[in-house]
Amino acid sequence: MAPVRGDGMRGLAVFISDIRNCKSKEAEVKRINKELANIRSKFKGDKTLDGYQKKKYVCKLLFIFLLGHDIDFGHMEAVNLLSSNKYSEKQIGYLFISVLVNTNSDLIRLIIQSIKNDLQSRNPVHVNLALQCIANIGSRDMAESFSNEIPKLLVSGDTMDVVKQSAALCLLRLFRSSPDIIPGGEWTSRIIHLLNDQHMGVVTAATSLIDALVKRNPDEYKGCVNLAVSRLSRIVTASYTDLQDYTYYFVPAPWLSVKLLRLLQNYNPVTEEPGVRARLNETLETILNKAQEPPKSKKVQHSNAKNAVLFEAINLIIHSDSEPNLLVRACNQLGQFLSNRETNLRYLALESMCHLATSEFSHEEVKKHQEVVILSMKMEKDVSVRQMAVDLLYAMCDRANAEEIVQEMLNYLETADYSIREEMVLKVAILAEKYATDYTWYVDVILNLIRIAGDYVSEEVWYRVIQIVINREEVQGYAAKTVFEALQAPACHENMVKVGGYILGEFGNLIAGDSRSAPLVQFKLLHSKYHLCSPMTRALLLSTYIKFINLFPEIRTNIQEVFRQHSNLRSADAELQQRASEYLQLSIVASTDVLATVLEEMPSFPERESSILTVLKKKKPGRVPENEIRESKSPAPTSVVQNNTHVNHNKLNSNANADLLGLSTPPSNNVNNTNNTLIDVLGDIYGNNNAAVYNTKKFLFKNNGVLFENEMLQIGVKSEFRQNLGRLGLFYGNKTQVALSNFNPVLQWSAEDALKLNVQMKAVEPTLEAGAQIQQLLTAECIEDYADAPTIEISFRYNGTQQKFSIKLPLSVNKFFEPTEMNAESFFARWKNLSGEQQRSQKVFKAQQPLDLPGARNKLMGFGMQLLDNVDPNPDNMVCAGIIHTQTQQVGCLLRLEPNKQAQMFRLTIRASKETVTREICDLLSDQF
């Protein structure tokens, strides 16, 4: 600890020196115990200790605490130091209290009184020390005790600037733990007007506070936009000499500029006022212009500060997505950074261009940099930059450049880092399917993927190629020929064998006319791979062989011999034995007609959303570009859908920016189904069903499915949650032959409940056409725990009759759980700590159906908590752990479900750090088993 001038605390320096000179842990403990005994005797016996001595001994206690030893005395002496008028003594007192005093301490009232005295002091140093102590402790008690004093200090005209800065940051710290500390009404305007303060330090601190307030209540603080734009404009247009005290390496107030730009990104659109918008655009243009100017210094600090402001300005331009000129200029500026020597700049440029590629205004400009991005993917030394180049190629891909980009990614895949191969495989598969104008090209791409990176080709990829080949007759023969040729390679990946087995089993007859791919040749080629494959692939090949008997009766005896070999003990796998035995008997007993019926060609799969996209979004949450999501169904080749594509093109693009979850409305070729069958985005096909289907409780354990269905309307839901934020896509499908007019979903959620769960709902078109499907996006923010869930009231006119009904949304509090892993020791230690009456809730109830323990386990796994195996001594008992994320706090929660098989009953126990959470979780689950 640096000595204060004229007050060196020599005794402290000697003690620290002694500790450093100790040769062993035992010597150190002995010296510390000796010092603790000395300090204790001084505090107890010597009533004449002056401030200097108290300070010295308190400093020693602090040092001992920092070494990892417990301190159980000295607190009162530290509190006494707070009343000193000397800065050094008061500082040490506050430091000790901030570090060592528990908020439940008996001394807290004395401390609060001392802090209040200092807050009323005319000495700004004392006031700042008090504010720093409040912020360091940051408890709810502190927030309640000083909820009046700190806001007054912040907006008072008499308060010195240095105190206002500390008051703003202290208030921000308390706001994060106690959001209700900030008063509303006229205080809102006074806090906002701090952006006009003459002192730049006050403005910087106030901007941080206002940014946090805006995130909680954007409408109340919308007045900050005009002032923020005005202040930003003045900073950007000022020279570095105008703001000399706040200029960092020739860049005026870079930290404040970045904070203001981030503040404006809380609103979209930023402003509706033409004058303010024009001034903001002018400011952003000025920032872009300054980026083109020669640097005023060669030092890295200058370029870092300048680029920090530039990138944040570009983020705001991307966020607004409404000014074509600015978007194009931003893209050109980022393009220059792609060749910069600085690795971080290249990475940031690629990342920002990923977002620009999703905008209709700048997509074409981004494509101009395609060659440079391809070079980055191949030549960059840093794997994270190569990864970002792959992301950008994926984002900029469209029908015009798809073949070139896919080919480049395939070429690079052979030498790509192992860490990014799996993601690259998924992206190539998605692009090939999405932009395939000729499905022979698609088949070639997927088979190349399997050849180059077979270990990284997931089941979803090869499942998908089989679905597409089966659904498209024009490509079946080509697929059979291509996969037959691929299987002839000496080294053939198992995934290729799977695809080959399936396709040849269905369509091998289409190439059997060529002597080079005669039936027996196909069979021998597949069977040559049999012994190298896993049991699952062998089972698939046995199914292919029985299909061959139907397609090629002339090789029946060859195949039956294989079945005989694997139907006895030669095959160690029981599944293969049984399969071979049954197929052998089927080939012997069944007539030709029966075989043809049993083994007929697979029917077409229903068109549904590609599961590959879902896998990619799980691997890279938040990183799948939005333009990817606009057409998530497998598209038909251009020649087939050319007549229909233009019908809903504008409608599709208008919703693309709001489509953040991959919840796209199906493309127009699905809407105009010839049989008017509604194809649900979740992959289910429903026939006519006149009975209403509605069960919100099932969504306690899943996020996707059909929420409601009757003879007129089907409502599907698809949702995702991350910490305290959630997004839902509602899909309204019109099952009738007439349009539903005045279609209006309205959220039913009280203002009081909205303070706990803030739900925002996008508007939808008032007309739902016959056989059509539209989507509505909802966002939810959990501010604190709550009970029940919001409701939407849906009204519309059908054949002139008004229809209205209410549906509860699947937004129960368990959606904000984060699973938590625990071992048995940690679980029961936490369980024991949560034994208070208000921390637990228990219910004993009869099983709803015959006791189903596997079903109960599956439900608990879908509930959001972590199901902990091998924790409870009773193997039938189920225990879970999780944390509910809210904006204000995190609530730990433990669950124990104990079945009684004889009585057909369950006992459910919930323990959590908050009473309302225990009750709500217990109520949600008590009727679900």
Which residue positions form the known binding site?
10-11, 42, 52, 56-60
> Could you tell me the maximum CA-CA distance found in the chain, to the nearest angstrom?
112
- Please tell me the distance from the alpha carbon of residue 207 to that of residue 200, in angstroms, as a whole number: 10
- Please tell me the distance from the alpha carbon of residue 45 to that of residue 475, in angstroms, as a whole number: 97
The CB density around residue 393, as the number of other CB atoms within 10 Å, is 27
- Please tell me the distance from the alpha carbon of residue 765 to that of residue 768, in angstroms, as a whole number: 7
Beta bridge partner(s), residue 774: 732
User: Can you spell out the DSSP letters for 464-511?
Assistant: HHHHHHHH-GGGHHHHHHHHHHHHTSSS--HHHHHHHHHHHHHHGGGS
User: Can you spell out the DSSP letters for 638-667?
Assistant: HHHHTTTTTTTHHHHHHHHTT--SS-PPPP
Q: Does residue 745 contact residue 751 with C-beta atoms inside 8 Å?
A: no
Q: Does residue 777 contact residue 663 with C-beta atoms inside 8 Å?
A: yes
Beta bridge partner(s), residue 806: 793
Tokens of 731: 């899909």
The residue type of 871 is V
Please, which residues have CB within 8 angstroms of residue 504's CB and are 6 or more apart in sequence? 480, 483, 484, 522, 526, 544
Q: Of 488, 512, 499, give the one whose Cα is nearest residue 540.
A: 499
- Please tell me the distance from the alpha carbon of residue 255 to that of residue 305, in angstroms, as a whole number: 8
How open is the CA angle 331-334-335, to the nearest 5 degrees?
85
Q: Chain-centre distance of CA 783, in angstroms?
A: 17
Contacts 24+ apart (CB under 8 A), 100-105: 100/61, 100/62, 100/65, 100/71, 100/75, 101/75, 101/137, 103/137, 103/139, 103/141, 103/142, 105/75
- The string over 750-781, giving b where at least 16 C-beta atoms fall within 10 Å of a residue's C-beta and e elsewhere, is eeebbebbbbebeebeeebeebbbbbbbbebb
Q: Which helix (H) or strand (E) holds 395?
A: helix 383-396
Tokens of 619: 């691997």
Tokens of 119: 């807050």
Q: Does residue 761 contact residue 745 with C-beta atoms inside 8 Å?
A: yes
Q: Chain-centre distance of CA 457, in angstroms?
A: 24
Please, which residues have CB within 8 angstroms of residue 850's CB and are 6 or more apart in sequence? 904
Q: Of 758, 918, 778, give the one whose Cα is nearest residue 837.
A: 918
410 φ/ψ angles, rounded to the nearest 5 degrees = -65, -40
